[in-house]
Amino acid sequence: MLHSEFSEDDAIFMRQALELAAYASSLNEVPVGAVLVRDNTIIGEGWNAPISNHDASHHAEIAAIRDACNAIQNYRLPGTTLYVTLEPCTMCFGAIIHARIERVIFAAKEPRAGVLESQLRLPEATFYNHQLTVVGGLHADESATLLQQFFQARRSASPQKSE
């Protein structure tokens, strides 16, 4: 059952983001996926790939924003919604603001580094020249499970340090 703040379309687009997160995991990247939507059409998608791309900025959100900007040939993305499987970090929030994304829907909270709700609550700051709507929790359990399984597998594959 969907939370009253989410539509059936929101659920469909978050499912796509979750598929991209699973793809990232298959590349041994932290499983985060993102899709950017305008007028019920995906215009950009991305997944975490900083390791395989040798690029610290290659977070799912940044990749989706780049993909969308290229697709529409504009660095501004008004009227769009970003669906992402994990609460964005500071870097990604900056890109979201600069791109003028209207709405962000995220799945799981990121208690250590998430800046939309968990830590700095940056969307509440009044000094930005762009304001956005943020809603979290859509398919949070599925996203959290993907992340937990990924990190459990990573820990079990790492040789234990002996003292």
Cα–Cα distance for residue pair 93/116, rounded to 1 Å: 8
Q: Single out the catalytic residue among 29, 61, 87, 110.
A: 61
Q: Tokens for 40?
A: 């019920």
In the chain, what are the helix, strand and coil shares in percent, each to the nearest 5?
Answer: 40, 20, 45
Cα–Cα distance for residue pair 161/157, rounded to 1 Å: 12
Closest CA to 78 of 93, 68, 92: 68
φ, ψ (nearest 5 deg) of residue 120 = -75, -20
Annotation marks residue 19 as catalytic:
no
Cα–Cα distance for residue pair 30/48, rounded to 1 Å: 6
Q: Any idea which residues carry the catalytic annotation?
A: 61
